[in-house]
Amino acid sequence: GENVEQHPSTLSVQEGDSAVIKCTYSDSASNYFPWYKQELGKRPQLIIDIRSNVGEKKDQRIAVTLNKTAKHFSLHITETQPEDSAVYFCAASRRTGTASKLTFGTGTRLQVTL
């Protein structure tokens, strides 16, 4: 089955700096890569996703890049703010008809300091 590795496990940055979280996946047939943000005590929520036919996607201060050859994808957050502090999870899945299941990485705890 799919295996997703995520690094680093913790990341501390100063407000205004950039943060990068990296993930690798094992199943070359995976074609959907979402990122979820989980604030303390809350449920995970999708912040951005990318499909295998695209190399990069941006949404305001966040961007995701995908390298299918190397089987890795990354989340980039620019101009970090205190409200970006949370745990971030990457995931991967491949679709078969209407079915797919997400395999998650182990998470990165991002702390944005003032």
Partner 1 sequence: DAEITQSPRHKITETGRQVTLACHQTWNHNNMFWYRQDLGHGLRLIHYSYGVQDTNKGEVSDGYSVSRSNTEDLPLTLESAASSQTSVYFCASSVTGNTEAFFGQGTRLTVV
Binding residues for partner 1, rule: CB under 8 A, are 1, 6, 9, 31-32, 34, 43-46, 49, 51, 89, 93-107
Q: Name the minimum Å distance from CB 89 to partner 1.
A: 6
Looking at the Cβ atoms of 28 and 81, the one nearer to partner 1 is: 28
Looking at the Cβ atoms of 14 and 96, the one nearer to partner 1 is: 96
- φ and ψ of 91, to 5 deg: -155, 160
Task: Tell me the two tokens of residue 81.
Answer: 């703010």
Looking at the Cβ atoms of 69 and 98, the one nearer to partner 1 is: 98
- Give residues with Cβ within 8 angstroms of 68, minimum separation 6: 28, 52
Task: Tell me the two tokens of residue 27.
Answer: 């199943």
Q: Name the minimum Å distance from CB 110 to partner 1.
A: 15
Q: By C-alpha distance, which of 67, 78, 73 is closest to 103? A: 73
How far, in whole angstroms, is CA 72 from its chain's centroid?
11
Q: Name the minimum Å distance from CB 15 to partner 1.
A: 26
